[in-house]
Amino acid sequence: MFNPQQIYIVFAILAAVCGAMLWIGYFRKIDILEHERIIDVIVALVIGYLTPTLALWIYYGLEVLGFNFNGELINDFAYSIFGVGITEEFSKLIGVFIAFKILKKRINEPIDYLVFAGIVALGFSVRENFIYYNNYGAQIATGRTLISCLVHIINTSICVYGLYRFKLFNKGNTYINSVVGISVAIASHGLFDFFLVQPFLGIYTSLLATVVYLIGINFWLQMINNCINFSPFFNYQKISSITKLYKTIFTWYVIIVVLVFIFDYYYHDISFAIKALIASLIQEGVVLVIVALRASRLKINKRKYFPVKIQMPIHYTTNDDEDFSILGIAFKIRGENEKEFQFIQYMGKDITICPINKKLSKIQTNKRARLLKKYFLKNDVVTYLVEIYNEDAPSDIYLLKPKTRSGTYVNNIYPIASLMYYENPLDFQKEHETLSYKELKRIEYVYLK
């Protein structure tokens, strides 16, 4: 029915489509407060798919001028920034502006700017990926989907965030924001490519590309975070499903892995396919976990703007909130994990605070309470301000830190937290973002219901 060459093209198409579906699925779910129409997503994707044509024209002009990669360090660095970085970010931005013009009535919350810009960038990447798959085979699909697609999305998002930062958050200056945002995106894009094509540090050069990529992911999620916090449709209950977004990424990644496995089996043999699968999982497994978890974790706090910082998406922690330990060293993926975020469901509601050990408890009995506010301490440690009611006395104000390890529920239902306090509440209000978790005083463990 199909000859091997036709089947080869079918694999290339399927790989490009599955890669697009992974990130479209992510955008659809991160835009949880007010979903975009499928038709609008398709429009933005098609516009993005057309933008590489402009980039190819520019590349042709640069080649005529003799400006291209040639293996020389200075030349390749300059071409990565002023050739690749400027060309591709400029081409995608043209597509973004066209999409924004066509879809202007659909852009009604801050996250829409990053969603539609990201989808335009994804369209650019889909076409680029198809060319790569057609030339090199679908076996490179996992890396291209996980890394190359996201690099395009991140850098275009940085451009757009800079252009619209003042309009959305009243921060900075429109012109300075725009210049900084576009410059950072071009530099990030150029450096990523430079570290891949110019092995001036031998096999270790690609590690620098990974660092640029990981810093970019954290940049991107911080921008998404601010956009959601400032949404006019903000709703704590709706946002609760965001912490499970890693499932979408893992699901589509598995689908792509299966597709690649079938490709390798068809064009080689079962032994080759198994070895390639293992090698791919070893090379990409850690990055996949970091990306999937970080992309599912935000710092949700209504109308709270967090400065966008240069950080890795994973950090060393001593705050009893680690995700895993390596040789006794504790690490946490930035943002709120599911156990920290679930306390959102109690915000503004009457709840009951129950001591784990009533005999040794300071509060002694179950008491009515109310979560008043959420705070992020140094290194994103999540705490909640809680008011505990007393029958014949003024209410007590404490802090709750969700328990994230070693038994986190009572009866597998009621979440456990540390009941804590800070000696000077006024100082806490002013300085909480720079305070270490260790500066709080633990009273006891309690659970909420």
Confidence of residue 349 (pLDDT cuts 50, 70, 90): confident
Confidence of residue 394 (pLDDT cuts 50, 70, 90): confident
DSSP state of 347: B
Cα torsion through 59, 60, 65, 70, rounded to 10: 60
pLDDT at residue 1 is higher than 80 = no
Confidence of residue 87 (pLDDT cuts 50, 70, 90): very high
Angle between helices 174-197 and 86-102 (to 10 degrees): 130
| Residue 6 confidence (pLDDT) | 79
**Burial class for 443, CB neighbours closer than 10 Å (0-12, 13-18, 19+):** middle
pLDDT (tens digit, 9 = 90+) per residue, 17-44? 999 999 999 999 999 899 899 999 999 9
Closest CA to 83 of 199, 193, 203, 218: 193
Confidence of residue 5 (pLDDT cuts 50, 70, 90): confident
CA angle 95, 100, 101 (to 5 degrees): 100
Q: What is the mean pLDDT of residues 108-126?
A: 97
Which runs of E-coded beta strand occur in 162-210? none
Say if residues 95 and 48 touch (Cβ distance below 8 Å).
yes
Say if residues 186 and 89 touch (Cβ distance below 8 Å).
yes
| Residue 84 confidence (pLDDT) | 96
DSSP state of 233: T
Confidence of residue 427 (pLDDT cuts 50, 70, 90): confident
Confidence of residue 423 (pLDDT cuts 50, 70, 90): confident
Closest CA to 267 of 137, 134, 145: 137
* CA-based max dimension of the chain: 85
| Residue 434 confidence (pLDDT) | 86
For residue 352, give the amino acid letter. T
Residues in the chain: 449
Q: How far is CA 315 from CA 12, 206, 218, 297, 319, in A?
A: 37, 21, 11, 14, 11
| Residue 341 confidence (pLDDT) | 87
Q: What is the mean pLDDT of residues 76-86?
A: 96
| Residue located via tokens 């516009």 | 47
Alpha helix ranges (H) inside 31-51: 38-50
| Residue 160 confidence (pLDDT) | 98
Residue 179 token pair: 């210049």
Q: What is the mean pLDDT of residues 87-113?
A: 96
pLDDT at residue 251 is higher than 80 = yes
| Residue 345 confidence (pLDDT) | 82
pLDDT at residue 154 is higher than 90 = yes
Percent of the chain surpassing pLDDT 90: 69
Closest CA to 432 of 365, 376, 350: 376
Predicted TM-score of the model (pTM): 0.92
pLDDT at residue 3 is higher than 80 = no
Q: Is the C-alpha dihedral spanning 443, 447, 448, 449 positive or negative?
A: negative
pLDDT at residue 88 is higher than 70 = yes
| Separation of alpha carbons 342 and 373, rounded Å | 14
| Residue located via tokens 């890693």 | 246
pLDDT (tens digit, 9 = 90+) per residue, 362-377? 888 899 999 988 899 9
pLDDT (tens digit, 9 = 90+) per residue, 281-301? 898 999 999 999 999 999 988
Closest CA to 288 of 253, 323, 245: 253
pLDDT (tens digit, 9 = 90+) per residue, 162-183? 999 999 999 999 999 999 999 9
Closest CA to 307 of 376, 402, 384: 376
User: What's the chain's average pLDDT?
Assistant: 92
